């Protein structure tokens, strides 16, 4: 077994790999791969994903592990906040003293699921359709005629069954099974996960490849919320799309950090703006670059006034802002957004950089300014949200 350890935004590292292993790594696009200084030695670097996965040829697989550049507790905060209002409560997530995503997530899920199931396994009503020797619930008359040809039994019926086999428990069970078969989950966590299997006896595991069932947060399942948010993350991290839209299955748990950051910023900023009136649209596709509507625009966030006019546009960039004005393509993108929306302000928000806002006054326009700023993701959660509040204030007042 070949193990490749990388760090997000870290330097290129050299690894002994076969050509089949290197080809599999390059094809999956989880990392970047180039030939090394000699035959059999390859240079590998992260490609924006963090987590752990097993990939490569079946006879000689690779355990790939990419450590995030921010602390695990900070990463969990971004993930949880971005999933509001159906996310977990941050104070309930216990990732332990682990620096890698998969062991930390497995530990956090096991602890949260144990707490959720400590009182009892949640019961709920599930609509069931089946053929029975007696009438239960409502008779399905059409199916009875079509399938039984006038015979009185068995009876095609539909009824509500009070059972543990409900979407919430199915999610917990399926996430538990998935974590148990992934590489890199510590032995003590595996022991906790096996105990969960016993508690969830009688629950049906989800079919691989099928959509994850929806669940609604209610007072009755409140103790499940944190565990369910983590379970959805476990199941969501098993696949991703390449830039051309091709879906790729992952035997592990890999997260795209640019998407995590974008989700966090847009949801947090929307919550900061909402009390001031107006509406916020995330990833909207109603605007187009041209009159023929052939080229669609997809800004991360557009803030509209009460009367429906665009007030501000914001785009999140998971990049380092080493010095202002160096990401020219980002500026051109915001210029297009502002032009189409008729705005005199556009905001680029980077994940790391100089921090203090800087406004580019665009040549040939009287008032148009594109403002660059950066957040500090290493800050405690309260301070990070304070930075988002400052950004909301800039948008509302036009100051920077």
**Runs of H (alpha helix) within 208-283:** 225-236, 257-273
Nearest CA among 371, 367, 289 for reference residue 331: 371
**pLDDT above 50 for 87:** no
Looking up tokens 């800004």 gives 299
- Rounded CA-CA distance 122/200 in Å is 10
Task: Give the length of the chain.
Answer: 400
Tens of pLDDT, residue by residue over 232-256, are: 888 876 554 444 555 545 567 788 8
Average the pLDDT over 376-395 and give the result.
Answer: 91
Distance CA 51, CA 7 (A): 10
Q: What is the pLDDT of residue 91?
A: 41
Q: Using pLDDT thresholds of 50, 70 and 90, give the confidence band for residue 89.
A: very low
As a whole number of angstroms, the distance between CA 185 and CA 188 comes to 9
Q: What DSSP character marks residue 125?
A: E
Cα separation of 359 and 371, whole Å?
Answer: 4
- Quick one: average pLDDT of 292-318? 91
pLDDT of residue 383: 92
Q: What angle do CA 15, 18, 22 make, to 5 degrees?
A: 70
For residue 396, which of 331, 330, 304, 324 has the smallest C-alpha distance?
A: 304
Mean pLDDT across the chain: 84
Domains of the chain (ranges; CATH) run 2-67 (2.60.40), 72-122+166-236 (no CATH), 124-163 (no CATH), 258-397 (3.40.1350.10)
The rounded distance, in Å, linking the Cα atoms of 331 and 334 is 5
Closest by CA position to 67, among listed 250, 264, 257, 249? 257
* Res. 42: pLDDT tops 60: yes
- d(CA 201, CA 211) in angstroms, rounded, equals 22
Give tens-digit pLDDT for 57-73.
878 888 888 999 888 88
pLDDT-derived band at 94 (thresholds 50, 70, 90) equals low
Q: Write the pLDDT tens digit of every residue in 201-226.
A: 989 998 877 777 888 888 888 889 88
- The confidence score (pLDDT) of residue 242 equals 47
- How far is residue 390's CA from residue 52's CA, in Å, rounded to a whole number? 35
Across 373-383, average pLDDT? 89
d(CA 131, CA 141): 12
Output the pLDDT for position 95.
54
Structure tokens, 147? 């399938």
């Amino acid at each position: 077994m070949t193990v490749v350890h990388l760090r997000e935004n870290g330097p290129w590292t050299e690894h002994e790999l076969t050509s089949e292993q290197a080809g599999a790594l390059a094809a999956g696009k989880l990392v970047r791969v180039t030939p090394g200084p000699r035959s059999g030695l390859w240079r590998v670097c992260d490609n924006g994903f963090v987590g752990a996965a097993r990939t490569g040829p079946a006879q000689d697989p690779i355990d790939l592990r990419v450590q995030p550049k921010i602390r695990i507790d900070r990463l969990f905060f971004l993930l949880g906040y971005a999933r509001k209002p159906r996310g977990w409560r941050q104070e309930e997530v216990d990732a332990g003293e682990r620096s890698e995503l998969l062991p930390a997530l497995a530990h956090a899920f096991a602890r949260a699921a144990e707490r959720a199931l400590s009182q009892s396994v949640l019961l709920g009503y599930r609509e069931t359709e089946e053929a029975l020797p007696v009438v239960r619930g409502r008779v399905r008359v059409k199916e009875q005629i079509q399938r039984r040809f006038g015979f009185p039994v068995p009876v095609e019926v539909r009824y509500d069954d009070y059972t543990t086999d409900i979407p919430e428990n199915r999610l917990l069970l399926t996430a538990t099974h998935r974590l148990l078969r992934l590489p890199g989950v510590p032995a003590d966590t595996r022991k906790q996960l096996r105990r969960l299997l016993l508690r969830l006896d009688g629950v049906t595991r989800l079919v691989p490849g099928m959509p994850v069932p929806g669940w609604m947060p209610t007072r009755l399942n409140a103790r499940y919320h944190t565990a369910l948010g983590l379970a959805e993350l476990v199941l969501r991290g098993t696949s991703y799309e390449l830039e051309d839209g091709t879906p790729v299955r992952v035997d592990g748990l890999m997260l795209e950090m640019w998407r995590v950051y974008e989700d966090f910023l847009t949801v947090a900023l929307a919550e900061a703006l909402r009390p001031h009136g107006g509406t916020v649209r995330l990833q909207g596709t109603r605007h187009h670059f041209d009159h023929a509507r052939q080229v669609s625009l997809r800004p991360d966030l557009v803030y509209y006034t009460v009367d429906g006019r665009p007030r501000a546009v914001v785009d999140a960039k998971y990049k380092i802002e080493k010095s202002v004005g160096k990401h020219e393509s980002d500026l051109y993108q915001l210029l297009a957004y502002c032009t189409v929306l008729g705005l005199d302000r556009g905001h680029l928000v980077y994940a790391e950089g100089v921090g203090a806002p800087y406004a580019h006054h665009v040549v040939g326009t009287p008032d148009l300014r594109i403002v660059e700023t950066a957040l500090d993701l290493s800050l405690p959660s309260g301070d990070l949200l304070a930075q988002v509040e400052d950004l909301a204030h800039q948008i509302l007042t036009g100051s920077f």
